Amino acid sequence: MTAKIAVSLPDRQVAAARRAVAEGRATSVSAYIAEALRRREHEDTLVALLDEMDAQHGAPPAADVTWARRVLGLT
């Protein structure tokens, strides 16, 4: 089931959605926005899981975080 709603978005975001459709990266503006929301839901779920893991086991040591960031190229 789907619901039709109205939302207000900044012009830049509307242009990005329309560009994605024009370039064939999305079938419609609605599909583009639905995918963005799906990704946000997934991210929120992962954040909740990490928060739960921290609550159960404690945060990882700073040295481990530093190592992981370096290995992932985030430093």
Neighbouring CB atoms inside 10 A of 26's CB total 19
- Give the pLDDT score at 48: 98
The Cα 65–Cα 44 span in angstroms is 21
* Cα atoms in the Cβ-side hemisphere of radius 13 Å centred on 57: 8
pLDDT tens, per residue, the chain with 75 residues: 999 999 999 999 999 999 999 999 999 999 999 999 999 999 999 999 999 999 999 999 999 999 999 999 998
- Give the pLDDT score at 71: 98
**What are the sequence ranges of the domains in the chain?**
11-71
User: Residue 72 has what DSSP assignment?
Assistant: T
The Cα 63–Cα 61 span in angstroms is 5
- Give the pLDDT score at 75: 87
CA 6-9-15 angle, to 5 degrees, is 115
